[in-house]
Chain A
Amino acid sequence: MAQVPLAIASHKRQVCSLYKRALRNLEAWYDRRNVYRYRAVQLRARFDENRCKDLGEGIRLLACGQRELFETKHFQPRNFANSSGGCAYEREVIPPDWLLDYWHPLEKAQYPEYFAKREQRKKEYVTWWEKQYGKPDPKDLGHH
C-alpha cells in the first residue's frame, strides 16, 4: 500500500519539489553560506535553462534530474534539530491530560482519592466555564 500515490502531482509541482529537494541537498554538501549561494544560483540557472521545453522533453529532464539527485544525495542530510529526522525530535513526550479519563475502572480504582478529586475538579471546571462563558447552545451538543 505504501507505493500507492495518494495524489496525482502535476508536472509543474514535481519540478518545484525536485528544485527544493536539490537545494536542500546542496545545503548539506556546501556548508559555507557563500559557497552554497554560488551553487544555488548555478542550480537555478540549470532549471531556468529548460523552462519552456515541450512536455515530453520536460518529463525526460525531470526523470534525469530525479536520478541525479538520487545519485548525489548526501549520506547525512542536514536536519533541523527539532524537526522530523533531527536529533532532538520528540524528545520529551508529555502524555495529554485526557489520557487519564481512558483508564480502565479497575486501574482507576487503584488511586481512588486522586480520581475522586479529579472528577470533582472537572465538575468545578464546567461550573466555572458556564459562569464565564454561558451554557453551550443545545444545537452544538451531540454528534453531527
Chain B
Amino acid sequence: MKYLSICSISFVNLISISFSCFLFSLYFLLNNMVYFIEWEVVSLNSMSIVMTFLFDWMSLLFMSFVLMIASLVIFYSKEYMESDENINRFIMLVLMFVLSMMLLIISPNLISILLGWDGLGLVSYCLVIYFQNIKSYNAGMLTALSNRIGDVALLLAIAWMLNYGSWNYIFYLEVMQNEFEMLLIGSLVMLAAMTKSAQIPFSSWLPAAMAAPTPVSALVHSSTLVTAGVYLLIRFNILLSFSWLGQLLLLLASLTMFMSGLGANFEFDLKKIIALSTLSQLGLMMSILSMGFYKLAMFHLLTHALFKALLFMCAGAIIHNMNNSQDIRLMGGLSIHMPLTSTCFNVSNLALCGMPFLAGFYSKDMILEVVMISNINMFSFFLYFFSTGLTVSYSFRLVYYSMTGDLNCGSLNMLNDESWVMLRGMMGLLIMSIIGGSMLNWLIFPIPYMICLPKLMKFLTLFVCIFGGLFGYLISMTNLYSLNKSLLNYNISVFLGSMWFMPYISTYGMIFYPLNMGQLVVKSFDQGWSEYFGGQHLYQKLVNYSQILFLMHNNSLKIYLMLFVFWILILLNFLLFM
C-alpha cells in the first residue's frame, strides 16, 4: 500500500507526462513545428463553437517544466504533509491546479485562457486557505481579490475581442496591432498579467500568500502561477513592443524589481524573503519582455522556475525541522545540522545570484548584457543593475543568518537531514538547477548571441554582484558594541521592510472609504429610510388596512343594515319631496 498512495501515483503520472512533453518540445523545436488542434464542440447552421489548442515548443517546454516541478513537489509533500489531516484534499487541489495551468498554456483562445486563468485563481485561493487560521483566511482573501481584478480585465478584453468575430487572438495580433481596439485589449491583458504576476500596484498578495503550505509555495507561488502572467504577455508581446504599453510596463516592472529587492533585505520571515525574491525576478522577466525580448523572458522564466522551486523546497525542509518556525532570527548554523539541505539551498541561491555556469547565470547574464546594448534611459538602467546587486545582497544575508553562526533556537532540538523523501525530491531539482540553464541555452538559442561590449561594461554585472554580496554582509553583520543598523535608520527600515506600505494601501487604503460608505448606507438606508418606508411602513399600512377590512368583515351585517336604512331614508326622501 505504501507505493499506492495518492502522492506516488500522481508523481509517476506527472513525471511521465512531463518527460513526453519535453521530448515533443525538442521535436517541435528542431523541426520548427506548430500544431493547431481544433475540436468543434457545437455546430449549428453558420455558428460553430470551436475549442482550439496550440502546441509549439514554447507551450510544450513550459508544460514539461510545470509537470516536472509539480511531480517533484507532490513527491516531496508525501513526507512534508505526512502528519496532515487532509493530505488527499491537498493533492487533489495541486492536481487541479496543474490541470488549470495546462489549459492556460495550450490555449490560443481568450475564452479558454479565461477558464484556465479562473481555475488558477480559484485553486490558488483554496490552497492559500488550506491552513485554517485567520492569517491564512486574510491572505487568501487578498490573493483572490487581487486576482479578481485581472479576471475582470480579461473578461473585458473578451468583450472587446467580439469586434473581430472570434476570440482566437493569435490571428489578429499582427494584423490589427495599430487599431485602437487592439490597444485597449492589450492594456486589459497587461492589467490581467500584472495582477497574476504581482507587479507594483498589486504586489502585496504574493508575500501574504506565503501562509500556504510550503510545497504550494514551491509550485504555485514561485514557478508556475505567478509566471502565468509573464507567459500570457509573451503570447501578446507584439502589442507591447510598439506602443506606450511597453514603456509603462517597463517602469512598473523595474520598480517592482527594485522595491522587492529592497524589501527582502529588511524581511525576517524565511518564506517571505524568497517570495520577495520571486517578485524581483518576475519584475526582471516583465521588464525584459516589455523591451521586446520575449525569448529571453521565457528563458529566464524556465530557469527561474527550477531554482526557485528548489529554494522553496529547501526552505520547507528547514521550516519542517524547526517545528514550523519561519523566522530567520531563530536559525543559524544550519550548514552543520542539515548539510545536504544546506547544499541544495546554497546551490539554488547561487543560481539565483547568477553564479557562472549555474542555471540563473545564462538567463540573467544575457538579459543584463542585452539591457546594456539596448537603447534605454539611465533610470531603467540603474534599476536593472541596482536590483541585481540587491538580489545578491539578500541572498547573502539569508545565508549569513541561516547557515552560519550558532543556532538561535532552543537548545533541545532534533535538527537533522534524515527526511529522505524530501531530500530525493530536492535532488531532482538540484541537478536541473545546475544543468538547466546551459541545456535551455543551447536549445532555445542554437546560434549564440554575440554581444560586443567594452571590458568594463562586460564586467559590470560581476562588480555589481560582488558589491551586492559585500552590502549584504555589512547590513547583516552584528557587532557587540554598535547599535543595530535598522534601528539607527528606523523610519527607512520600516518603510522598506513593509514593501513601501503597499500591503496597507491595498487593504486598508482600498477598503477604508468604501467600508465607511457602506456603513453609512447600512445605517441611513438599509436600516434607515428603506427600512422605515419599505419594511416597517409597508407592514404597518398593510396591518392597518387589514384591520379595517377585519372591522368591516366582523360588522358586515350591521353595515348591511345601516346601508339598508340609509338607502330607505334616501328613497323616502325622494318620494316625499320630489
Contact = CB atoms under 8 A, between A and B. Distances in A.
Contacts of B327: 78-79, 81
A33 B480 contact: no
A33 to B, nearest CB: 6
Contact of B269 (A32, A71, A76, A94): A76
Interface residues of A, number: 27
A86 to B, nearest CB: 8
Interface residues on B, range: 35 or more
B497 interface: yes
B329 A31 contact: yes
A91 B478 contact: no
B333 to A, nearest CB: 12
Contact of B325 (A72, A80, A91): A80
B486 interface: yes
B323 A81 contact: yes
B134 A90 contact: yes
A16 to B, nearest CB: 24
Contacts of B478: 30-32, 35
B131 A82 contact: no
A117 to B, nearest CB: 22
A28 B329 contact: yes
Contacts of A34: 480
| B267, B268, B327: residue with the most chain A Cβ atoms closer than 10 Å | B327
Contacts of A80: 325
A75 B408 contact: no
A93 interface: yes
Interface in B239-280: 267-269
A122 to B, nearest CB: 24
Interface string B482-507: 00101100100110011000000000
A91 B324 CA distance: 10
Contacts of B324: 81-82, 87-88, 91
Interface in A95-126: none
B326 A76 contact: no
A109 to B, nearest CB: 27
A49 to B, nearest CB: 20
A18 B433 CA distance: 49
Contacts of A29: 484, 486-487
A142 B480 CA distance: 64
A35 B133 contact: no
Contact of A38 (B268, B480, B486): B480
Given A30-B478, A32-B478, A92 B484 contact: no
A90 B211 CA distance: 12
Nearest to B133: A90
B135 interface: yes
Nearest to A93: B132
B85 interface: yes
Contacts of A129: none
A89 interface: yes
A86 B131 CA distance: 13
Nearest to B270: A87
A30 B408 contact: no
Contacts of A86: 325
Given A32-B405, A38-B480, A76-B497, A87 B329 contact: no
B406 interface: yes
Nearest to A33: B408
B135 A87 contact: yes
A88 B482 CA distance: 33
A132 to B, nearest CB: 30
Interface in A30-60: 30-35, 38
Interface of A: 28-35, 38, 71-72, 75-76, 78-82, 86-94
20 contacts: A28-B329, A30-B478, A30-B484, A32-B406, A33-B406, A34-B480, A35-B478, A35-B479, A72-B487, A76-B267, A76-B269, A78-B268, A81-B323, A81-B326, A87-B135, A88-B131, A89-B135, A91-B132, A91-B133, A92-B84
